[in-house]
Amino acid sequence: MNRGRAILSSVLVALGALAYGASPIDIIPELLTGPLGLVDDLAIWVGAGFAIWKLMSGSKAGPGTASPAAGSPGTGQPAAEQHVAEQPRWEQKAPE
């Protein structure tokens, strides 16, 4: 995903989370459950923050997506290639 698309996606995620927080329609309504009803809003905002962070960092969510540290022995990649793998995808250059 290029940088412009990541920014657009991040803005849309943020707007969706804000719209859900401001909406009177909730999964757990505050009117019936009091302060407990804010839990679903908090979960949406935390999830949106995580999604925006992942979009802007250029990495995929989920287990096993961490790249090996640069200079780690036994990775089979030169340190220069490992450094490229740690950059966001829109900043990576094609291998020569």
* Between 32 and 75, residue with greater pLDDT: 32
Per the structure block, which two tokens stand in for 35?
């302060």
Question: Contact at 8 Å (CB) between 20 and 14?
Answer: no
Q: What is the pLDDT of residue 87?
A: 64
* Tens-digit pLDDT profile for residues 38-91: 888 899 999 999 999 999 997 665 555 554 444 445 555 555 454 545 666 667
* Nearest-angstrom CA–CA distance, 28 and 42: 11
Q: What is the pLDDT of residue 37?
A: 83
Q: What is the pLDDT of residue 50?
A: 97
Q: What is the pLDDT of residue 94?
A: 67
Query: Is pLDDT above 60 for 17?
Result: yes
Indicate the residue type of 50: F
DSSP 50-87: HHHHHHHHT---STT-PPPPTT-TTS-S-HHHHHHHHS
